[in-house]
Chain A
Amino acid sequence: EADIYQTPRYLVIGTGKKITLECSQTMGHDKMYWYQQDPGMELHLIHYSYGVNSTEKGDLSSESTVSRIRTEHFPLTLESARPSHTSQYLCASSDSGVNTGELFFGEGSRLTVL
C-alpha cells in the first residue's frame, strides 16, 4: 500500500489568491514529482525533485514553484492563481534504488480558480 498523501483534495478559490498544494510520503522515497492533468488527458510534468534541495522544472511551463526541504515533503505553490490554473494536480514519488522505480501516486488535488 502506497503512503503518499495530498491535501487539499478539492479547492475552489478566487483569482489572485496564493495557494499551496501539499504532498507528503512516508516511504522515504528520494524522487518526487508534480503532474498537471485535465480529465482523461495527458499527465504533464511540471516539477520534479531528485533529493533534498534539488528540484527541476518539467516540460510544461508553469507559474508554480516547489520546494524540497525534507525528504518526505514536496509542496507546490501558486503565488497568484488564475482560471487557467484550474486542473487536477497529481503528486508522485519513487525509489530510484529499486529496479522498476515505479511511481506511487497520491489521490490528486482538484483546483478550481474562479
Chain B
Amino acid sequence: AQKITQTQPGMFVQEKEAVTLDCTYDTSDQSYGLFWYKQPSSGEMIFLIYQGSYDEQNATEGRYSLNFQKARKSANLVISASQLGDSAMYFCAMRLKTSYDKVIFGPGTSLSVIP
C-alpha cells in the first residue's frame, strides 16, 4: 500500500532554533519523488523542497533541508533558524511515477514557533 505517515500532529520550537519534522513513506515503487509543502493559516500551499528517489545527495533549499534515508523510507524536513513566519501546517507528499504521477499527502504536522 502507498502511504505517508507523519507522526507529529503538533510541534513547538523556539525562535532561531532548528526543528525536524518527521515523514515516513511506504511504496513498492522504485521511482518516486518526495515533497514538502507549507500551508499557513491563509490556506495557500507553498512548495518547499523536493527529493527524487535516485538522488544521492540530500536536497537543500535555503533554511530547508531534507534528510533522506531511503533504506528506512524516511524523508524528514529540517528547518534551521526557525522564524515566527514558519508557524504553519507542513505536509509531506509522494509522487509515484509508475502510477501516472499520482501524488498523495500525509496528515500533516502543525508547527508553532515561540518567540
Contact = CB atoms under 8 A, between A and B. Distances in A.
Interface stretch (B17-25, B67-75, B78-86, B97-105): B97-105
Nearest to B47: A102
Nearest to B107: A42
Interface residues of A, number: 29
B104 A45 contact: yes
B110 A50 contact: no
Contacts of B100: 31, 48, 50, 54, 56
A100 B104 contact: no
Interface in B23-51: 33, 35, 37, 43-45, 47, 50
Contacts, number: 68
B2 to A, nearest CB: 8
A84 interface: no
Contacts of A43: 91, 93, 105
A59 B99 CA distance: 12
B84 to A, nearest CB: 19
B33 A101 contact: yes
A33 B37 CA distance: 16
A96 B31 CA distance: 13
A56 B37 CA distance: 23
Interface string A44-82: 110010100010101100000000000000000000000
A48 B47 contact: no
22 contacts: A40-B89, A41-B108, A43-B91, A43-B105, A45-B102, A45-B105, A48-B100, A56-B100, A56-B102, A88-B43, A92-B103, A94-B103, A96-B101, A100-B50, A101-B50, A101-B101, A102-B35, A102-B50, A103-B37, A104-B47, A105-B45, A107-B44
Which 8 residue pairs of A and B lie closest in terms of their CB atoms, listed nearest first? A50-B100, A100-B50, A105-B45, A43-B105, A42-B107, A102-B47, A31-B101, A96-B101
Interface of B: 2, 33, 35, 37, 43-45, 47, 50, 52, 89, 91, 93, 95, 99-108, 110
